[in-house]
Amino acid sequence: MSPSRDQEFLQLALAQARSAGQLGEVPVGAILVRGEQIIASGFNRPIAAHDPTAHAEIQALRSGAQTLQSYRLTDTTLYVTLEPCLMCAAAIVHARVRRLVFGAWDPRAGAAGSMLDVFALPGLNHRVDVFGGVLAEECGALLRKFFEDRRLARD
């Protein structure tokens, strides 16, 4: 996949993130792609779904598994606007996703190199090619604005 194509798909994940933000959820979005075809998308919904696992990545993985009728999402690329947390990183490995492309780094909870790197654990039987920092400024700006607006609303 070319860097420009990765940016195009990440822009679509940003649209998903904006949808989450409009609903009062933390604005994180994800797009799951196989070849050049989008097979699933998702955005954060833990508040609305009353489900702590309803992260954008999990939403996209669940939808993609239904689309492909398989829990193995081989030869797919997951585009996410924020570095995955530990739960999502583990799910990405277990789903056998081939590539992960994400935007903003998450120094507090990121599990693709910030806080820890799940994808580099030596005992794993599947390797994911990880590319972080794609459209990082745009992805990070969306998150910063969301949290700034929430702080202003509380004051």
47-95 pLDDT, tens digit each: 999 999 999 999 999 999 999 999 999 999 999 999 999 999 999 999 9
Integer Cα distance of 122 and 100 in angstroms: 18
Q: Does the pTM of the predicted model rise above 0.85?
A: yes
Instruction: List, for residues 2-58, the tens digit of each pLDDT value.
Output: 778 999 999 999 999 999 999 999 999 999 999 999 999 999 999 999 999 999 999
Active site residue: 57, 83, 138, 148, which one? 57
Helical pair 56-68 and 86-94, crossing angle rounded to 10 deg:
20
Helix (H), strand (E), coil (C) string for 86-103: HHHHHHHHHCCCCEEEEE
Known catalytic residue: 148? Answer: no
Question: What are the tokens at 149?
Answer: 């607006």
16, 42 contact by CB (below 8 A):
yes
